[in-house]
Chain A
Amino acid sequence: MDTREWALLLFTILGQAAAGLMIVLMIVRTYIAGKADSALADRLTDRSLYMVVPMMALALFASLFHLGSPLHIVRAVPNIGSSWVSREVVIAVVFVAFAALYTFMQWRKTGGEGLRVVVGWIAAIMAAALVYAMGMVYMISTQPSWNTFATPVTFIVGSLLLGVLGMAVGLVAGYTANGNKNEGKATGLFQTILQGLAMTAIVLLGIEFLVLPIYMAYLASQGGAAMQSLGMMFTSYGTVLFFRLFILFAGAGVLAAYLYRNASVAEKEKTLATLTYSAFALALVGEALGRFLFYATHYRIGV
Chain B
Amino acid sequence: MAKQLAFSIDLNKCSGCKACQVACKDKSSLPIGVRWRRVFQYEGGEWLNQNGQMVPSNVYAYSVSSACMHCVKPICMEVCPTSAISKRDDGIVLINADMCIGCRYCSWACPYGAPQFNEEQNVMTKCDMCFDLVDKGERPACVESCPYRAMDFGPLDELQAKYGTFADPAPLPDASITQPAVVYLPNKVTKSSGNADGRLMNLEEL
Instruction: Point out residues on A near B: beta carbons under 8 Å.
Output: 4, 66-70, 72-73, 75-79, 82-86, 89, 137, 140-143, 224, 300-303
22 contacts between A and B (CB under 8 A): A68-B100, A68-B101, A72-B101, A75-B82, A75-B84, A78-B82, A78-B83, A83-B81, A83-B105, A85-B79, A86-B81, A86-B82, A140-B108, A300-B109, A300-B111, A302-B110, A302-B111, A302-B112, A302-B171, A302-B173, A303-B40, A303-B172
- Which of B83, B102, B200 contacts A69 (CB under 8 A)? B102
Q: Most B CB atoms within 10 A — which of A4, A75, A77, A86?
A: A75
Across chains A and B, the number of contacting residue pairs, with CB separation under 8 Å, is 100
Contact A83 B112 (CB under 8 A): no
Given A68-B123, A303-B112: A83 touches B80 (CB 8 Å cut-off): yes
- Which of B101, B121, B177 contacts A141 (CB under 8 A)? B177
Contact B75 A141 (CB under 8 A): yes
Contact A76 B102 (CB under 8 A): no
Q: Most B CB atoms within 10 A — which of A4, A66, A224, A300?
A: A300
Known: A68-B104, A303-B171. 12 other contacts (CB 8 A): A68-B102, A69-B100, A79-B83, A83-B80, A85-B81, A137-B105, A140-B109, A142-B109, A142-B110, A224-B194, A300-B111, A302-B173
Q: How far is the CA of A72 from the CA of B124 in the complex (A)?
A: 14
Q: Most A CB atoms within 10 A — which of B66, B111, B112?
A: B111
Q: How far is the CA of A68 from the CA of B194 in the complex (A)?
A: 34
Using a CB-CB cutoff of 8 Å, which residues 111-126 of chain B contact chain A? 111-113, 117, 121-124
Contact A4 B104 (CB under 8 A): yes
- Rounded to whole Å, the gap between the CB of B66 and the closest CB of chain A is 7
- Which of B40, B80, B83, B173 contacts A301 (CB under 8 A)? B173
Contacts of B83 in A (CB 8 A): 78-79
Q: Is B99 an interface residue (CB 8 A)?
A: yes
Q: Is B59 an interface residue (CB 8 A)?
A: no
Contact B40 A85 (CB under 8 A): no
Q: Is B55 an interface residue (CB 8 A)?
A: no
By beta carbon, the residue of chain A nearest B122 is A68
Categorize the interface residue count of chain B. 35 or more
Q: Is B90 an interface residue (CB 8 A)?
A: no
Q: Is B201 an interface residue (CB 8 A)?
A: no
Q: How far is the CA of A301 from the CA of B79 in the complex (A)?
A: 16
By beta carbon, the residue of chain B nearest A81 is B83
Q: How far is the CA of A140 from the CA of B173 in the complex (A)?
A: 15
Q: How far is the CA of A143 from the CA of B110 in the complex (A)?
A: 10
Q: How far is the CA of A302 from the CA of B115 in the complex (A)?
A: 13
Q: How far is the CA of A67 from the CA of B101 in the complex (A)?
A: 6
Given A4-B104, A67-B102: A82 touches B78 (CB 8 Å cut-off): yes
Q: Is B103 an interface residue (CB 8 A)?
A: yes
Q: How far is the CA of A55 from the CA of B108 in the complex (A)?
A: 27
By beta carbon, the residue of chain A nearest B178 is A142
Given A84-B79, A141-B177: A76 touches B101 (CB 8 Å cut-off): yes
Contact B79 A140 (CB under 8 A): yes
Q: Is B206 an interface residue (CB 8 A)?
A: yes
- Rounded to whole Å, the gap between the CB of A83 and the closest CB of chain B is 4
Q: Mark B136-179, 1 if CB is under 8 A from A, else 0.
A: 00000000000000000000000000000000000111000100
Given A75-B82, A79-B83, A301-B173: A143 touches B108 (CB 8 Å cut-off): yes
- Rounded to whole Å, the gap between the CB of B101 and the closest CB of chain A is 5
Q: How far is the CA of A84 from the CA of B103 in the complex (A)?
A: 13
Contacts of A301 in B (CB 8 A): 111, 173, 177
Contact B81 A76 (CB under 8 A): yes
Contact B111 A85 (CB under 8 A): no
- Rounded to whole Å, the gap between the CB of B8 and the closest CB of chain A is 18
- Rounded to whole Å, the gap between the CB of A228 and the closest CB of chain B is 12
- Rounded to whole Å, the gap between the CB of A69 and the closest CB of chain B is 5
Contact B122 A69 (CB under 8 A): yes
Contacts of B102 in A (CB 8 A): 67-69
By beta carbon, the residue of chain A nearest B64 is A303
